[in-house]
Structure 1
């Protein structure tokens, strides 16, 4: 009986010792999980090479059909005028018509609004067209930005610069942490741009037909940034 109990106790101790030894061996073989999160970025200021302008017409009429005809006529005239400026892309924008009531909830008239949007890399032609269209329309706003073609080119270059900046920062951390090398765990590259605010025009906008030639258009710059976020494991 005593021999049987002793055998059971010895077996339990042997099993426990075996588990401890296995755990120690596992820890000894485990890699060092020294993971550091890093961020680096590359930024470039780029000249805006594309111009966008919105012009609109807003009318009031007693009859909805008359209102629609007049607005359509103005928009069609704008589209035809733009044909003389081949470097400027023109398209119709938002358009809406709604009834106007007095304080007695009686229908007074109809109000309608329609927009055309200009887009071009030729600032001179765009400015001249804006002046021409203002004979029958009003200027809503002007916006300058980097063209898609130029943006893609710059972003491609910044992806490389941001990646190199990330690698440089990773190497700088080796010595302080007593590491000889590192391994990339994950990396994300994201691009964004800070665009200038659009220029909103007052009802007596400065783009007048008789003064457009003296206008000095300043397109400004946009800041394009590529950010590299990732993790490395020190070795």
Structure 2
């Protein structure tokens, strides 16, 4: 029995040595978390204007008719402008009470008209013209969906390139010979524009509604790359 046991040990010993030798030849890796972020200022190429009609009358039916006529006239004029998207916004009415708050003395109604175009000069001139019958509700600028997508795609490629450059830099700093990618997450961000109040006030306060200078501004599109690499050490 002792002779058989010794023989079995002698047979398994070479296999153990081979396993240890194979492990010694395998590269040793160390994991490192990295982050790279790129961003780009993209000029706005869409202009949105909100105009509204607001009035008060003791007869709600006459009030509604008055608001409708004003809007229809503005819509017909807006549709003549090329490249301008026209749509109705919100519309609501509410009662106006007497000083004691017990009896309705009138009704007040407000209805919006929304305009959008990539031709800033044309939309600005149209808005100024419509201010003869409507009031300025708001003006802001943004990026078209296609512009945003194109910019985001370009930033995605740049973020991956920046991550690879940083991974190479870290590998060299650690004295590694190579690295392999474990995981990578890409996230995009978009900084929404602020309303351009200067132009809006200029149009709302001007008696003859002159066309203001347009400063559309820009928004920042950013993409970040977060991932983990394994650095191969000698």
Bin the TM-score by the shorter chain: 0.7 to 0.9
| Pairwise CA distance, 1:230 | 1.9
TM-score by length of 2: 0.80
- Alpha carbons of 1:226 and 1:85: their partners in 2 closer, same or farther (altered >3 Å)? same
Q: 1:218 aligns with which of 215, 219, 231?
A: 215
> What 5-or-longer segments of structure 1 have no aligned partner?
1-20
Distance, in Å, in 2 between the alignment partners of 1:37 and 1:74 is 62
Give 1:223 deviation, angstroms: 1.7
1:205 match: 204
Deviates more, 1:143-152 or 1:186-195: 186-195
Query: Pairwise mapping of residues 83-232 of structure 1 onto structure 2 (< 5 A)?
Result: 83-102=79-98, 103-200=100-197, 201-202=200-201, 205-206=204-205, 209-212=208-211, 215-232=212-229
Query: Counterparts of 1:207 and 1:118 in 2: how far apart (Å)?
Result: 20
Indicate conservation of the 8 Å contact 2:92/2:109, yes or no: yes
With over 3 angstroms needed to count, the CA separation of the structure-2 counterparts of 1:122 and 1:156, relative to structure 1, is same
Give the whole-Å Cα distance in 1 for the aligned partners of 2:83 and 2:223.
31
Aligned-CA RMSD value:
2.5
Larger mean Cα displacement after TM superposition, 32-41 or 69-78? 32-41
Q: Provide the rounded CA distance (Å) in 1 between the counterparts of 2:208 and 2:90.
A: 24
Mapped to 2, the partners of 1:210 and 1:180 lie a distance apart of 68
Total equivalences in the alignment:
209
Contact 1:195 1:222 in 2 (8 A): yes
1:204/1:156 Cα in 2 relative to 1: closer, same or farther (>3 Å)? closer
Contact 1:130/1:207 (<8 A) preserved: no
